[in-house]
Structure 1
Amino acid sequence: MQTRDKIILGFRKLAEEKGFYSATVDELAARHNMSKRTIYRYFKSKEEIIEAVMDSFMKEAEREVFATLNRIENPIEKLTLFIQIVAQKLRTLTPVLIGDLPKHYPQIWEKVEQFRTEKLNYLTGIMIEGSKQGYLKEINHTVVTASLLATVRAVVNPTFIMENNLTPEETFKTVMNTFLYGIVAKDQST
């Protein structure tokens, strides 16, 4: 593993314990027997390390999602796998790890928000495809996408998750399953 990657991974593990704000470069250097000078050879600031941690996470998640989804034709399977893969990736993000982003590192959080928006817009294409093939209802996809995005921003965010003692994985799965399957029990009839 390259030194830069060791720094990113090491800082991520440290932040999982303490949060991004409380984790320090001094602790990172001490834990990994490297000098701060070595760390700063690869990164100009702690903030740059945090950004690299989140960039690494987002790239890895994107790779995993699209490697799987590009092999599948059925839109229902695509939606289901999208939820499963993203939920699995979110399992690695503890509330402590991401809790500081909106408050202390808003520019990095904005980058995360842009990433989420792009990936949720990908679902619109799957929904349109599913409607054309008869798998999904004919609905206004613009409204559904906007509603889903607003819900994700309001609910699948560090503040909401921490205030309600949830995990990112559990929160995302609940939101997505509610959007896809509603809240009515399957055996209910009208």
Structure 2
Amino acid sequence: MDESIRSRIVQEAADLFNAKGYRGVTLSELASRLGMSKKTLYLYFSGKEEIAEAVLDTIMKAIANYVKTHMQTSGHPLDVFERVFMSIKSEIVKLHPLFLNDIQKYIPGLWTKLEAFRSEQLTFIERLLQRAMQEGHIRNVNPRLVTAIMLESIQRMARPDVAAKYGVTMVEMGETLFGLYMHGLRADQSNKRSE
């Protein structure tokens, strides 16, 4: 199988899914845009669901690489955390909320895979928090508990249905959560009320 053709299929599918959502795209339309037959598509993928999974796998692989690369760098742990967050954000914005909403509604197994990946990748938070606390950059907190709270917040709030409910994007939701945690954890912040 030609890997460049497979990559072309995934990229064109990503463009269509982001424009029309998962349900709004047919394999006939995808094949037509690629200038190939549906039969050729089936040589590379068993169906539309597998193509959607390949689209998400591309994003997840990029995110995993960002996390791995940034975790190997030195520097202020909160700066590393911010760089990782910004890298993740740059990938997440490639996925239109309509596509993610359709995945959540119509392909629950794939949504579960995405949430499991998100949980797995967020383990870097605990390691960074431990380092930040040891170096005196954040308050004396239980890094595992803070990580669990952050993860639960992200899992519950950074979802297409919740973002839509509040009239915001998933990126806005993520940025807000990130800002709340980072500012609340810093050791140099005072909790005193202004008088």
Contact conserved, 1:10 with 1:28, CA < 8 A, in 2? yes
Distance in 1 (alpha carbons) for counterparts of 2:105 and 2:193 = 43
TM-score (norm 1): 0.91
RMSD (CA atoms): 2.2
* 1:108-164: CA deviation from partner (whole Å, max 9, x where unpaired): 111110111011121101001111111111111222111111111111011112233
* Residue ranges of structure 1 left out of the alignment (5+ in a row): none
Greater RCO (CA < 8 Å, at least 6 residues apart)? 1
Secondary structure at the counterpart of residue 15 of structure 1: helix
User: Does residue 189 of structure 1 match 2:191?
Assistant: no
Contact conserved, 2:67 with 2:121, CA < 8 A, in 1? no
* 1:25-72: CA deviation from partner (whole Å, max 9, x where unpaired): 111011111110111001011111111110111001221333234223
Could you list the runs of 4 or more consecutive aligned residues of structure 1 that deviate by over 3 angstroms after TM superposition? 184-190
> Percent of aligned pairs with the same residue?
28
Contact conserved, 2:89 with 2:171, CA < 8 A, in 1? yes
Distance in 1 (alpha carbons) for counterparts of 2:140 and 2:47 = 49
| Other-structure match for 1:5 | 7
* Cα separation, partners in 2 of 1:47 and 1:135, compared to 1, 3 Å: same
TM-score (norm 2): 0.89
Aligned residues: 190
* Residue ranges of structure 2 left out of the alignment (5+ in a row): none
| Other-structure match for 1:37 | 39
Distance in 2 (alpha carbons) for counterparts of 1:185 and 1:52 = 46
Kindly state the Cα deviation for residue 186 of structure 1 after the two structures are TM-superposed. 9.2
Alignment match of 1:127 (pick from 126, 129, 132): 129
